[in-house]
Structure 1
Amino acid sequence: MPAQPTDSPVSFLRLFWRMGGWLSLIPLVITLGLTLASHLTLGLADRFDTEGRETVGTVIDREISISRDSDGDESRSYLLTIRFDTSAGREVVTQKSTGSTFYHEHDIGSDLTLWYLDSDPDRIELSRGENRTASTITQLLALVFGVLCLVALWFPARRAVAALRARMYGAEETARVLDIQRSNITVNNHRLYRLSWQEKSGRRGQSLAYRREMLEPWQPGSAITVYQGIKRGWWSGDVGLR
């Protein structure tokens, strides 16, 4: 539920969150997930370097798995079932997901070179170093989302700092409410609104977003307190009174 206008001084964290700081959680979670996946894949790549064994296997079955998401978009997984013998004479049958090109290049009965782990023969590579390559790509993706996370942190943090500086050090002025304007933000199927005002200098400003009923006490023509920042004024209902 959106916060309510307040006269109490608002903390940096609360302003940061209300100004969109919560959006940084999305790239942050993705970054952490990709970092973990990269770490696990790199560990698997190291194991293949240490105990990987090369052999030749035979394709004994092929399958295309088709799934659809909630929007009806289709995705396909290309699966090969492969049989091979380890150096210890053990027969192993395992299923491996591949790319579409590799899948169509190998019919049932065709042979292919693979690498398996001595301690876990069901784990195989169909191209040497594929896990290390996957780890590198995942690391790069994690770096990209890490940068996006920093950007998502910086913008609301900069606005929150500007609002707090205005409340603490900016000139205190009286402005007149112009209107309660509909915003583009919806929370829990409820449209949010912003208080619009005009300052003595003629400059106009808008509040953060609230439920309409929260702004009803400030009708057009009402006087409100605004603290002047470098680039804009900030309503006391957003940042609290000095």
Structure 2
Amino acid sequence: MERKREKLTITEWAVEDRPREKMMLHGIRALSNAELLAILIGSGNVDETAVELSQRILNSAGNSLNNLGKYGIDDLVKPFKGIGEAKAITIMAALEIGRRRRDEELPRRPEIVGSADVYNLLRGQMIDLPHEEFWVLLLNRANRVIDTLRVSQGGTSATVVDVKLVMRSALQQLASALILCHNHPSNNLSPSTADDRVTGKIKSAAALFDIAVLDHIIVGEEGYFSYADEGRL
């Protein structure tokens, strides 16, 4: 009589077949629904691995996460050996998070059409400052804001800008364009020689990576100066 083959536990599987290890090796999108569910429940029962138990749970819901999302605690605990209240609650909580994420409206990135958009976006953060701050807007190809970064803070009349930090942020976030912005606490909107110099340095550095510098805005309490509007870029 042929001897029954012993069942492998999940820890005896090849590393690339274990859900957590597979995720680390190939990313979370490489996992099946059953493998994702297995990570949530952590363990199976004496007859099934966590993945096998998870697949059976999914089968009971017609392999539909939407159907599974309608399950209550009793629907998970009573039919499935190895699923107690704690595991059932974990499954239900994860599916509820997924539902809320789906229903949540994606934030729309602000679009920059002209200098007034930049001023309106940053004015509230800069007009009451007693010191100078230098900010950079990172834009995508559609001129929508990817991120807004404060890159330096200085004294009442100047701030030192590290061009390397500006470019590192732009490259890390794959920006297609930059808009520079800083405030003048004195409310004198005329650009200084130092303002011209840092504008030129960042523009030259950005050009090496085909990143455009679209404007440099100087913010004051009652208005602003735009390098682009004044033809100084």
Normalising by structure 2, we get a TM-score of 0.31
Structure showing greater Rg: 1
- Structure of greater relative contact order (alpha carbons < 8 Å, 6+ residues apart): 1
Structure (1/2) with the larger helix percentage: 2
Structure (1/2) with the larger strand percentage: 1
